[in-house]
Amino acid sequence: MARRLFGALIAASGARSIDAQTNDLLLTSMLFDFAANWTSDTILFADAATTALEPPHGVKLRAVTDTDRASMFTHTTEPVGDWALECDGVIAATGGLLFHYNPPYGDIYMEVAAPYRRRGLGSYLVQELKRICRHTGNIPGARCGVTNDASRGALERAGMLPCARILRGALATGIRDWGLGIGGT
């Protein structure tokens, strides 16, 4: 009955698109049945291994203060996090955990300032954010864009592995019946 009910939901709601995570088998199946022109621009990551990365020389993890926020490096893709990596007195990276949409999963995010990239800071920060997440009794997770090789590498070095993709597809303007008795075009 899933296809019939999903078709009725689409018809009643007027939805024009569908998002699905490939680790949700039923919703992914509905996306393939009802959507066209689907795309994927996001990879989801699960915590797969505990790592023991050492902090790069001169780097320490600390909480971000209100004073820090006033003089923070410009973030281009992620918000300023609650945690920072300080390198010789300068904040070189920030990151945090989001719990607002999928508890008990903590969605790890981070950004490294351009002059400090390719030094292992991102991987170390992800490792420490995983530790903080687990310490609060939650489960670490993350996501990144499919073309963001640097972020993907940092996540993988910190023990995160791809577990799914987010798919988005456009729904037909009318729902095909396919003999399901749901009407439409």
Residue 178 clears pLDDT 60, i.e. is over it: no
Same domain, 19 and 63: no
Q: What is the mean pLDDT of residues 97-110?
A: 94
Q: What is the mean pLDDT of residues 105-134?
A: 97
Same domain, 68 and 153: yes
Residue 107 clears pLDDT 50, i.e. is over it: yes
Grade residue 10 by pLDDT with cuts at 50, 70 and 90. Answer: very high
Same domain, 153 and 85: yes
For 129-143, write each residue's pLDDT tens digit. 999 999 999 999 999
Give the pairing type, strands 35-47 and 160-171. antiparallel
Domain that holds residue 135: 50-158
Average pLDDT of the chain, as a whole number: 92
CATH code, domain with 153:
3.40.630.30
Residue 182 clears pLDDT 70, i.e. is over it: no
90-98 β-sheet, strand order:
17-21, 160-171, 35-47, 139-145, 105-112, 90-98, 83-87, 59-63
Same domain, 70 and 123: yes
Please report the pLDDT score of residue 169 as a whole number.
Answer: 96
Same domain, 143 and 182: no
Same domain, 26 and 104: no
Asked, for residue 43, whether it belongs to a domain, the answer is: no
Same domain, 19 and 62: no
Residue 115 clears pLDDT 50, i.e. is over it: yes
Please report the pLDDT score of residue 185 as a whole number.
Answer: 45
Question: How many domains does the structure of the chain reveal?
Answer: 2
Asked, for residue 44, whether it belongs to a domain, the answer is: no
Same domain, 88 and 4: no
Strand partners, 18: 169
Same domain, 21 and 61: no
Asked, for residue 8, whether it belongs to a domain, the answer is: yes
Residue 147 tokens read as 């073309």
Residue 102 clears pLDDT 80, i.e. is over it: yes
Backbone angles phi, psi at 167, to 5 degrees: -110, 145
Asked, for residue 45, whether it belongs to a domain, the answer is: no
182 or 90, higher pLDDT? 90
As to burial, measured by CB atoms within 10 angstroms (0-12 exposed, 13-18 middle, 19+ buried), residue 159 is buried
Same domain, 76 and 103: yes
Asked, for residue 182, whether it belongs to a domain, the answer is: yes
